[in-house]
Amino acid sequence: MSGDFDYGGQRANMEDDSMRGTLAAQARVVWPAEREIIRRRYGRQLGRVLDLACGTGEILGRLRRDFACSQAIGIDLFDGHLRHAEPPVVRADGYLLPFPDGSFDLVLVRHVLQALPDPVGLLAEARRVLRPGGRIHVVAEDYLGLFFDADDAAVENHFPEVQPLFRAEGGTDLYQGRRALRHLRAAGFEQVAIDPLFVDNQSADRDALASMFRFWGAGYAATLARMTGASVAEMERRFELMAENAADPDRYCAWLLFALDGTKS
């Protein structure tokens, strides 16, 4: 993720002011379930941890609070995110990490593979900085795993509509979740395991889930309008309906993500 890296054309979206709200809402929604997976896999003593593409440090703070880390460092490409993160954090290229081989016991790669044309390259660099026997924790997004009870075909078909457009324009993949198992193995990881990471508006923070969709709309409505030929107003309408669905306890809304684990031999 060098200085001119454009996230498959999504750099402006990733660095938009709305991303700070997205990351905060997403953490409130996903972390409670993800924390239990981390505890089950790795215990409470995590050792030396790198949060690769840490954004504003939302998860770094939770990780430091909920687990024992001898070291927990975050790296991200964008200074605008890092200024909100609690140190130590480093501005760095995720494809060329400024750490020696074997520096960490655990590397986290969360909510970023869907914005990378070369996810295997990033995972391979994460493997390099792990010690032998070290492990990677990945949260991979898959946008076909979003479920809405919205009474609106445009909402229910939104992500299948836009997924091939992202693939064609920037080589990124909104269906990264189902590919991540293969990509971890291609990057050299062994003993790869995958768990569903399921959140919904019946058990997760309903207001945070609704906020997440509104922040997605704020960050992506104009881009999606350009890609689809629809109006910005139409894209904003779709995301608002997603948010209303998430906020309504009598209508179901859910997101199936994937939490993966791999080991460096």
Q: How far apart are CA 161 and CA 174, in angstroms?
A: 11
Contacts with 149 (C-beta within 8 Å, 6 or more apart), sequence order:
245, 251, 252, 253
Is residue 181 very low, low, confident or very high in pLDDT (cuts 50, 70, 90)? very high
Q: Where are the domains of the chain?
A: 7-146+171-200+254-263
Tally of CB atoms within 10 A around 108 = 24
Residues in a beta bridge with 196: 258
Q: How far apart are CA 159 and CA 57, in angstroms?
A: 27
In terms of CATH architecture, what is 7-146+171-200+254-263?
3-Layer(aba) Sandwich (3.40)
pLDDT tens-digit readout, 235-256: 999 999 999 999 999 999 999 9
Cα 68 from chain centroid (whole Å):
23
Is residue 10 very low, low, confident or very high in pLDDT (cuts 50, 70, 90)? confident
- Find the Cα–Cα–Cα–Cα dihedral 62, 256, 168, 7, rounded to 10°: 0
pLDDT tens-digit readout, 23-41: 999 999 999 999 999 999 9
Contacts with 34 (C-beta within 8 Å, 6 or more apart), sequence order:
139, 197, 259
pTM for this model (two decimals):
0.95
Q: How far apart are CA 75 and CA 127, in angstroms?
A: 15
pLDDT for residue 171 is more than 70: yes
